[in-house]
């Protein structure tokens, strides 16, 4: 029968001991590594709870496909970097008021590809609220279902009267037909990204008012609307907004504007405006918004007052804008 060298059993025992020790060391090292985290790395649960509590996903992120405007800009594949003056202005207003804010501007006039706005601040858009009344009125003027001098149109723009806006909406048809008419006006003014809402999960508010409208896309629309002849009656009314709604852009002499505001699902108010300001011989389309730290409407308008005061200085760092 075969024989085994006398030292073999001892060597096998030694080898088994070495392997066992190596396995134990590997398990210990692996356990320690699994318990460690890179320094400064936030816990996933903390980040998730912050987004939920702040409401940032509703007001400050690009809207979801099919319901809202996409983050890409009309006439451009990517947004421009805001001038340093704009970034500083928004940061100063946020620091002074504690609000979360966003600002977008562009010179008026020029082809769609030349009117590419930048956006500064943490916020980039949200529900249009009453700013959607601008394309609603334009759609009626274009269809011949309203005139710029009638009381219904005046009330919808100068007083932001909701019943007047509902009357104008119904002249365009049902919700789907009204949305198509609004989409056509947006596209005619170079905002080809935004899609007017046809349904809403918030029955207490108007369907079209829940259209998600990004700040840069709204600025594209405004930069065009500032110069089109058929929008002249609307621009006239935008210069006659009542004093109680003349906050933000309304504090600047000669500005044309329309505001919108409403509560988010957490009850905090989004306050926004879009319009045109004149600085020297140039005009600039502006869209801006705020959510105050306490979520109130009054604190939101105060934050926009603060930001508006800086806009002429920001505009002077931009190319000139003129119609024609």
Q: Which pLDDT band, with edges at 50, 70 and 90, does 26 fall under?
A: low
61 inside domain? no
220 inside domain? yes
Mean pLDDT confidence for 68-84: 51
263 inside domain? yes
Task: List pLDDT tens digits, range 193-232.
Answer: 999 999 998 989 999 999 999 999 999 999 999 999 999 9
Torsions phi, psi for 318 (to 5 deg): -110, 160
122 inside domain? yes
Task: List pLDDT tens digits, range 182-194.
Answer: 999 999 999 999 9
In total, the chain counts a number of residues equal to 324
Q: Which pLDDT band, with edges at 50, 70 and 90, does 28 fall under?
A: very low
The whole-number pLDDT of residue 117 equals 87
Number of domains in the chain: 1
The whole-number pLDDT of residue 126 equals 97
Supply the mean pLDDT for the chain.
82
Between 39 and 178, name the one with better pLDDT.
178
The whole-number pLDDT of residue 324 equals 78
Q: Which of 15-24, 63-72, 94-103 has the highest mean pLDDT?
A: 94-103
115 inside domain? yes
Nearest to 233 by CA among 110, 135, 138: 138
CA distance 67 to 212: 7
Q: Which of 3-17, 192-206, 237-251 has the highest mean pLDDT?
A: 237-251
What is the CATH number for 95? 3.40.710.10
5 inside domain? no
4 inside domain? no
116 inside domain? yes
Mean pLDDT confidence for 42-59: 27
Instruction: List the domain range (segments joined by +) for residue 157.
Output: 82-315
3-state helix/strand/coil string of the chain:
CCCCCCCHHHHHHHHHHHHHHHHHHHHHHHHHHHHCCCCCCCCHHHHHHHHHHHCHHHHCCCCCCCCECCCCCCCCCCCECCCHHHHHHHHHHHHHHCCEEEEEEEECCCCCCCCCCEEEECCCEEECHHHHHHHHHHHHHHHCCCCCCCHHHHHHHHCCCHHHHHHHHHHCCCHHHHHHHHHHHHHHCCCCCCCCCCCCCCCCCCCHHHCEEEHHHHHHHHHHHCCCHHHHHHHHHHCCCCHHHCCHHHHCCCCEEEEEEEECCCCCEEEEEEEEEEECCEEEEEEEEEECCCCCHHHHHHHHHHHHCCHHHHHCCCCCCCCC
The whole-number pLDDT of residue 111 equals 56
In this prediction the pTM is: 0.76
pLDDT of 112 above 60: no
Between 17 and 289, name the one with better pLDDT.
289
The whole-number pLDDT of residue 22 equals 58
The whole-number pLDDT of residue 81 equals 84
The whole-number pLDDT of residue 21 equals 52
Nearest to 210 by CA among 317, 92, 85, 63: 63
- Distance between first and last Cα of the chain: 109
Tally of CB atoms within 10 A around 310: 17
């Amino acid at each position: 029968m075969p024989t085994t060298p006398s030292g073999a059993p001892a060597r096998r025992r030694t080898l088994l001991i070495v392997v066992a020790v190596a396995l134990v060391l590997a398990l210990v090292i692996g356990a320690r590594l699994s318990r460690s985290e890179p320094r400064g790395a936030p816990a996933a649960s903390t980040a998730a709870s912050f987004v939920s509590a702040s409401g940032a996903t509703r007001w400050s992120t690009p809207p979801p496909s099919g319901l809202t405007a996409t983050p890409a800009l009309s006439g451009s594949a990517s947004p421009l970097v805001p001038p340093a003056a704009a970034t500083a202005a928004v940061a100063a207003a946020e620091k002074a008021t504690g609000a979360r804010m966003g600002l977008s501007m562009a010179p008026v006039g020029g082809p769609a590809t030349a009117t590419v706005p930048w956006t500064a601040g943490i916020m980039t858009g949200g529900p249009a609220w009453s700013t959607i009344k601008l394309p609603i009125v334009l759609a009626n003027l274009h269809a011949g279902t309203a005139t710029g001098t009638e009381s219904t149109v005046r009330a919808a723009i100068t007083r932001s009267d909701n019943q007047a806006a509902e009357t104008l909406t119904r002249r365009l048809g049902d919700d789907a037909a009204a949305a198509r008419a609004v989409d056509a006006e947006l596209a005619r003014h170079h905002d080809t990204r935004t899609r007017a809402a046809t349904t809403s999960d918030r029955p207490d508010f108007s369907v079209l008012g829940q259209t998600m409208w990004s700040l840069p896309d709204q600025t594209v629309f405004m930069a065009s609307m500032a110069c089109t002849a058929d929008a002249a009656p609307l621009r006239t009314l935008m210069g006659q907004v009542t004093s109680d709604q003349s906050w933000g852009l309304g504090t600047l002499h000669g500005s044309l504007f329309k505001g919108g505001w409403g509560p988010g699902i957490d009850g905090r108010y989004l306050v926004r405006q879009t319009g045109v300001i004149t600085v020297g011989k140039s005009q600039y389309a502006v869209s801006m918004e705020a959510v105050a730290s306490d979520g109130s409407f009054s604190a939101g308008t105060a934050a926009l007052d603060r930001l508006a005061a800086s806009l002429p200085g920001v505009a002077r760092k931009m190319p000139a804008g003129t119609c024609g």
